[in-house]
A and B are shown apart, each in its own frame.
Chain A
């Protein structure tokens, strides 16, 4: 860990929307390369970066489509830069292949998806949380990554910094999942002095060219990196590869690679998982929510408390990896989980799976391009207590 560069960090108290706060988080985290293609409601992130980067040593390139944007940042990452790309809905669908490429080549990079309602073009300027499963499973094959869900502009800043730190720590693509409301709502955002922002730098190898193998984790789970141009003459491929990075289509090679890609997340899950819990002690019902829905759920929880109900809150900050241990433990203590989300049921499936029948899991699906009415969630809490 080191600290953010004072040259770029916009220290101070600001009135920012979630998209702009995300841009500032990237700059504070040391990101100096961004690629993008215009799409609502995420474009403001790259608009701000295109304005800010030339004044703090960064480069933004708008590309011809999201396929290009989502691989250009990986070229930039292997060139030595911390890199980000930003999109929404249809653009996120187009980026799926390259999320898989980043996973198999263990390229540290950050994707931002400001969610809008789908499928397809759907509701371009209205919120949804319909891409939660896509963020986890959207690219073909088996892989693991990290997904963070801010619920405010402040958290959009904080978690974008965190996304870069985690992508460097675990060499995975990290996805920041905003939604249209968090992206477009304006609130106070406090950006600390640069020396108070912890930034994880890329872990360069200490080995010399000839000794270094780019995908050999040396008994650990995450290999050290090099960049192009430093004399290591590395090979990086999207094919199944061995420790040298050379294509290897054998059973042991594929198994070894796949298991390490999985284990580097699964075995570090306690260090990765983030959540915010309140009033869990004695709760009969726990509302599990994330992103903008957690802000609405706060009101519903207050209504339930006012009605004398014992209700707690568990807010997912990492959707993936999912906080299995915590949810499993709670499922032994509560009557029910209530899971509101802006889709027809996605993270609720994970809650239900982990609860494994030990308590009820009640979905509160909501679509239509608006957030929930707090009454909707309140009624489900009442139903859950009965």
Chain B
């Protein structure tokens, strides 16, 4: 942008007051500011998600978002969609019920590594197995932020957490491998540094069917970074930039994360198989023939009589 253009832009802005951010209309602005700390990666991912919604052209009245509990669990509350902030670990089964009962909805689950893979782990891999028609966005910051930085199933050896003061020592979950081996149809990973790629991947995944999973490596400066003396959010972004290696089509079993080592990013799985709903419908038709009465989408609300 030339100096003249910038000045013209500034003048224009001054004349009209502050210009609207293109993603504002996807957010509940009356709830700003968010609870997230400076340097936290969650807000960045929400920005990417809002841009993906903006590009999608979907009727956003038909997009619902479901979160569990935790820092990322607050995402549902900030997005101007039909949004559900449920219980710890149970966003996926709530979302499965919502989608089965109201099939015209696009249902997104947005939660953190602790919520989805520890307390909610059972639901994560069963939803992948049955190919529930959900997009699951998992912000992985390697810690329980909301409760003060405890160890999670993704905290790598030997990172310090408040409940592993001498360093984490358990084997971690390689989340793309977990969900891919359970049957997910779309699996990708980016970091909070890769905003354009992430927005594009979110858009692509929103347009597909079946159990889709996007892992986003994101900084928690207040707890994970500080406790491990890794600097601020900005330094972590530089680290992501340096250490990330794009390997589209990589075998998910090879994308596990070690402490401060290479971060393999990209799209690992993109396949098609019948969704839960499609399998259910198909089987019922085969077994019952003309006796099958398909589920009826609940009608447009009728006012109380």
The chain A residues found within 8 Å of chain B, CB to CB, are: 2, 7, 32-33, 35, 54-59, 61, 63-65, 67-69, 71-81, 83, 97-98, 101, 201, 203-206, 224, 226-239, 246-247
B198 → chain A closest CB, angstroms: 24
A213 → chain B closest CB, angstroms: 12
Set of chain B residues within 8 Å of A80, measured between Cβ atoms: 101-102, 298-299, 301
List the A residue with the shortest CB-CB distance to B89: A67
Set of chain B residues within 8 Å of A35, measured between Cβ atoms: 93, 97
Known: A33-B97, A35-B97. 20 other contacts (CB 8 A): A33-B100, A35-B93, A54-B284, A72-B100, A74-B86, A75-B94, A77-B101, A79-B298, A81-B298, A83-B101, A203-B304, A226-B301, A227-B102, A228-B64, A228-B102, A229-B105, A230-B300, A235-B84, A235-B85, A237-B77
Are A71 and B93 CB-contacts (below 8 A) given A59-B280, A236-B85, A239-B85?
yes
Q: How far is the CA of A171 from the CA of B191 in the complex (A)?
A: 42
List the A residue with the shortest CB-CB distance to B28: A235
Set of chain B residues within 8 Å of A76, measured between Cβ atoms: 97-98, 100-101
A80 → chain B closest CB, angstroms: 3
A357 → chain B closest CB, angstroms: 42
Are A54 and B84 CB-contacts (below 8 A) given A33-B101, A80-B101, A83-B97?
no
Q: Are B292 and A55 in contact (CB under 8 A)?
A: yes
Q: How far is the CA of A98 from the CA of B89 in the complex (A)?
A: 12
Q: Are A247 and B301 in contact (CB under 8 A)?
A: no
Set of chain B residues within 8 Å of A201, measured between Cβ atoms: 302, 305
Q: Are A54 and B292 in contact (CB under 8 A)?
A: yes
B293 → chain A closest CB, angstroms: 4
Name the contact of B295 in the complex, choosing from A58, A64, A236, A238 (C-beta under 8 A). Answer: A58
Are A228 and B98 CB-contacts (below 8 A) given A79-B105, A233-B80, A235-B85?
yes
A94 → chain B closest CB, angstroms: 11
Set of chain A residues within 8 Å of B93, measured between Cβ atoms: 35, 63, 67-69, 71-72, 75
Interface size class of B (residues with CB under 8 A): 35 or more
| B77-98 with Cβ < 8 A to chain A | 77, 80-87, 89-90, 92-98
Q: Which 4 pairs show the lowest CB-CB distances between chains A and B?
A: A80-B298, A75-B97, A72-B97, A79-B101
Are A75 and B98 CB-contacts (below 8 A) given A80-B298, A229-B104?
yes
Set of chain A residues within 8 Å of B64, measured between Cβ atoms: 228-229
Set of chain B residues within 8 Å of A237, measured between Cβ atoms: 76-77, 84-85
A326 → chain B closest CB, angstroms: 31
Q: How far is the CA of A226 from the CA of B101 in the complex (A)?
A: 14
Set of chain A residues within 8 Å of B294, measured between Cβ atoms: 57
Q: Are B96 and A72 in contact (CB under 8 A)?
A: yes
Q: How far is the CA of A247 from the CA of B90 in the complex (A)?
A: 19
Q: Are B77 and A64 in contact (CB under 8 A)?
A: no
Q: How far is the CA of A229 from the CA of B64 in the complex (A)?
A: 7
Are A204 and B100 CB-contacts (below 8 A) given A75-B66, A230-B61?
no
Set of chain B residues within 8 Å of A98, measured between Cβ atoms: 87, 90
As a 0/1 sequence over residues 9 to 38 of chain B, the CB contacts with chain A under 8 angstroms (1 = contact) are 000000000000000000010110000000
List the B residue with the shortest CB-CB distance to A81: B101
Are A61 and B97 CB-contacts (below 8 A) given A228-B102, A229-B62?
yes
Are A238 and B86 CB-contacts (below 8 A) given A75-B94, A79-B102, A79-B298?
yes
